Amino acid sequence: MPAPGFPMSRLVYLAGSFVLAILGLFAVARATDVGMSLFGAGLTLVSLAFGLFLVKRGADSLWGHG
């Protein structure tokens, strides 16, 4: 059974997701063509969704919903 709450591995993945989201925002800001701006926007959205999934999973394990 996994550890409840937010173990160190989950926090590391959350920090990595944050870094990828910031890189995606930089890609959008520096893009000169449509392809790169779409890539940056996609990277940002996927990273934010993954981060929110990790937070939800940690919260569910703290309050016994999962």
- The predicted model scores a pTM of 0.86
pLDDT at 60 over 70: yes
4-52, pLDDT tens digit by residue?
A: 778 899 999 999 999 999 999 999 999 999 999 999 999 999 999 999 9
- Calpha distance 7→26 (Å, rounded): 29
- Calpha distance 39→3 (Å, rounded): 35
Token digits of residue 64: 């016994």
pLDDT at 58 over 70: yes
Distance set, CA 28 to CA 18, 19, 23, 59, 61 (Å): 15, 14, 9, 31, 35
